[in-house]
Amino acid sequence: MPLIDWIPSYNIGIPEIDTDNQQLVGMINLLHDSISKKDNHEIVNHVIYQLVQNYQDHCTLTLQVLQNIQYTNLTQQQESHKKFGRVISGYLHRLKKDEKVSIMELIGFLRNWFDKHVLLEDQKIKAFLKQINNTQTETDITKSHVKTIKDSDIFQLHNNKMDGQHKDLANIYNKLYHAVELKMSKKIILKIIDTFKHYAEIHFKDEEQLMIDVGYDQYKEHLILHNKLLKEFDKFLIKINEDETISHIKILGYIRNWLLNHIAIEDKKVFAFISSQKKENSHA
């Protein structure tokens, strides 16, 4: 039985953060299961190590996303992250030195942290996003937090094909930005969004094939993120077609944040995996 059951109401509305939080809960449950099954210390230590690594990636991603949306409680959020990082890293350090550690005490800390952080601090982000969506208008995009994407904004993976496709996606996004900025017709905006979705599908197929070819160990999780984006595009297209009230600035912000953060976090993991595989093969 899991220590923490994830339910939809825990989501804050930012796919990358929500997915990361679910993965962290999964790691906490895995550690709890390992203790319940009385696994040996080596397995328990490995789970704690993976938890620390996942959490470090989560902090990096969250910082980038919250900076992009100009989150007003960013300092408080970072302090909560740092406190958790210090505690969990302290447990890992003591384990590496073969010091006696109360794993049940660690489990209790993780449970309390989840209640205070995910259920309280992260829900403040949800409220902040709701406030932005309620007050933001289409009238002046230059006063919003949304910007164009420059080449320097895109994390370079040093793979010509993938970097080139990411640049193409950024260029299509910039076309959409300028279409909204110039208040172009719904027909033009729909066409650009559809073009982005179509090109994203091509890019995802190439990237997914690459992950299959190299045996990427987080392929399924990465595939879920791709499918979520495509489903969001379908929703955008339907809402605009049906003349429902939907902020074009909100759509731009979603695309920009997803694209830059996905490349910098998830795609980076893929190429880090490929690099590690090459090193292992060279030493074989």
DSSP of 121-153: IHHHHHHHHHHHHHH--SS-GGGSS-----GGG
Q: Are residues 120 and 48 in the same domain?
A: yes
Number of domains forming the structure of the chain: 2
The CATH number for 120's domain is 1.20.120.50
3-state secondary structure of 11: coil
The tokens describing 33, both together, are 């299961």
Q: What is the pLDDT of residues 111-121, one digit of tens each?
A: 888 888 877 88
Domain boundary among 100, 135, 170: 135
Q: Is residue 1 in some structural domain?
A: no
DSSP string for 99-117: ----HHHHHHHHHHHHHHI
Query: How high is the mean pLDDT of the chain?
Result: 83
- The single-letter code of the amino acid at 251 is I
Give the mean pLDDT of 131-136.
59
The yes-or-no verdict on residue 1 having pLDDT over 80 is: no
Instruction: Judge whether 262 and 16 are in contact, CB under 8 Å.
Output: yes
Instruction: Judge whether 9 and 21 are in contact, CB under 8 Å.
Output: no
CA–CA separation, 91 and 102 (whole Å): 9
- For residue 91, give the nearest of 19, 23, 135, 35 by alpha carbon: 35
Which residues span the domain enclosing 96?
A: 8-135
With bands split at pLDDT 50, 70 and 90, how would you rate the model's confidence at 78? confident
Q: What is the pLDDT of residues 178-207, one digit of tens each?
A: 888 877 888 888 899 999 999 999 999 999
The yes-or-no verdict on residue 39 having pLDDT over 80 is: no
Q: What is the pLDDT of residues 203-218, one digit of tens each?
A: 999 999 999 999 999 9
Q: Is residue 95 in some structural domain?
A: yes
Q: Are residues 110 and 53 in the same domain?
A: yes
Give the mean pLDDT of 273-278.
88
Confidence (pTM): 0.53
